[in-house]
Structure 1
């Protein structure tokens, strides 16, 4: 009866709708209302977003794989820097892997008491085996050798390689999850991203280099050697990590005397304690900058506060230059990083793309006075996630070396202009927007 009345009303209009057709519309509407669910709609929206992100990432990874298939190894500019005295310590910068590994192996060979070595990635290749052989020889001589590497970072490394360390070497494969109950604890998702070596508590190495032939020959990274009492601080950091997460029946009891040093400070992120001083160190130093900020980082995905600090510095007249790899080993991270460039350029920040090799350095120097070098990237995983370690150094002479290294790295780079960047192709912008939500996971 209701349908007939509606049909009669419609008959008086210009176009009449047959009763059967009207019944079909109403039936469709009733079925849609019955099947409609806000939960289903939300689920479909989320599924659509994830599908778009997955498809975009898959396309980028495929293009990268095709491009890298015929990629030739390229030489990158480098300079030799002399050792610098900073207080009671001697500091030596390394920007080429082969030189660094030679120095590290030399220090290992000179060990008399202890060797502590920690690496996020330890490759099953010539360099990886070389380090193992040198460590085995020292362990056979009675030197205490302790090794830590991250389980997730070495998932693709054959088990045979990881299981073949000399039995005399104390070994820990750090695992984020010690038990099933850790799965529900977000703090347990942190990886051990640190890279360090300490010999006899007197000589130490810290920086961005992992262990592998690829890094020795083809990557542009930065590492630092310290000879002096500051090495005891790095040794203490290693010992604390080992005694906390290592075997309870194999604790390190050796003690190296520490001291306060106003010129060299060690900062370490601790996921379990929810302390992340490296990010705060960056923000405070950037906020104090008056003249220059020269920053090199492999993965530039800063949080809002850190980004605002950089923009504010540029807007008050500081020369802010950010050097990133033009093409890194993580293409998705590159595109997520690109989503920050527009507001950086609009604020007056110089964005420089390193194209000679994979740039993996994590360094910054400010106003020719302050510098930092370590393992932390400027992304959320490093800032408020992984275990990281950075040194903060107050020295004009050391900062001058850091500036020289930055000047060398920025020869022949790509510098973006705001006008060109804003007029990049629409499909490039679309891809960046699709991937931008992933910045909170990087």
Structure 2
């Protein structure tokens, strides 16, 4: 399948170099290149990891670096990979692997902190190169899904490493913690935000609302599953009411029909409130991005549902 996508140049923002990817095959090639250059550590975290050609190639490169003495840690969500063959989810002992399970006991379903899956998609190499965005790992996403991912080369990658290590150390069990530390720096251009279901804190949502409230000219929001809560929707409508050009891009048909039904329930209210809604039809649109006034942007893995 082919769909419109750009090959953008890398740009420098502060002390970091940023490269956007909108085509999975290009992203996977860059990820493999970064892995092959690793000298100290590789941290990989993903929601879905298919046992297909893309998945196996990535696994082979990780195993090769682990054999060379690089510290390789991988996390994937147990629930999201139920249909992936068990044999594929077996890793050599040289790779530290965590199959994340939020529910360990039947009564955990009563604890809202345990209802969150590990939906993040991270790759961090040597604490200096990081990848973050919406792409899962598999053949399907290489050519048939339109998503957005970012490569960071520079000190901000240490923040991604810290986020991975924090999650690993909280979930891995006693005696398996990561002790390597990459020094983080305050950066006025780039910040890393993570939701924390166990603490019931959701700074990503708050970040969206703050940026929307500050918009003066335009809000360009792309999300795979547009099911906003009342406060977020009211913030978008308030921006439109004060003259901001608010545009929402969603997949016309996503991979979750229930999400499509729910999203369409908001379209009338959005249109009546001055928000323009666009449906993407070239491929499955899975991106989660927002640009405000052409000056502020966020991307990652958090859906608006």
TM over 0.5: yes
Paired with 2:207 and 2:223, the residues of 1 have a C-alpha distance of 15
Query: Matches of residues 23-422 of structure 1 in structure 2 within 5 Å?
Result: 74-163=1-90, 165-379=91-305
Which structure has the larger Rg over C-alpha atoms?
Answer: 1
**For residue 395 of structure 1, what is the aligned residue in structure 2?**
none
Aligned partner of residue 211 in structure 1, secondary structure = coil
In structure 2, the gaps of 5 or more residues are none
Farther off after superposition, 180-189 or 330-339: 180-189
Query: TM-score of the superposition, structure 1-length normalised?
Result: 0.68
Paired with 1:207 and 1:233, the residues of 2 have a C-alpha distance of 15
Aligned partner of residue 351 in structure 1, secondary structure = strand
Farther off after superposition, 79-88 or 220-229: 79-88
Aligned partner of residue 130 in structure 1, secondary structure = helix
Aligned partner of residue 12 in structure 2, secondary structure = strand
Paired with 2:274 and 2:304, the residues of 1 have a C-alpha distance of 19
Aligned partner of residue 171 in structure 1, secondary structure = strand
Offset of 1:182 from its aligned partner? Answer: 2.6
Offset of 1:341 from its aligned partner? Answer: 0.3
Aligned partner of residue 284 in structure 1, secondary structure = helix
Q: Could you list the runs of 4 or more consecutive aligned residues of structure 1 that deviate by over 6 angstroms after TM superposition?
A: none
Paired with 1:149 and 1:287, the residues of 2 have a C-alpha distance of 35
Aligned partner of residue 268 in structure 1, secondary structure = coil
Paired with 1:344 and 1:184, the residues of 2 have a C-alpha distance of 34
Q: Deviation string for 1:262-294 (max 9, x for gaps)? A: 111111000011110000000000011010000
Aligned partner of residue 250 in structure 2, secondary structure = strand
Query: TM-score of the superposition, structure 2-length normalised?
Result: 0.99
- Whichever structure has more helix as a proportion of its residues is 1
Offset of 1:210 from its aligned partner? Answer: 0.5
State the number of aligned residues.
305
- Whichever structure has more strand as a proportion of its residues is 2
Offset of 1:181 from its aligned partner? Answer: 4.5
Output the aligned Cα RMSD: 0.8
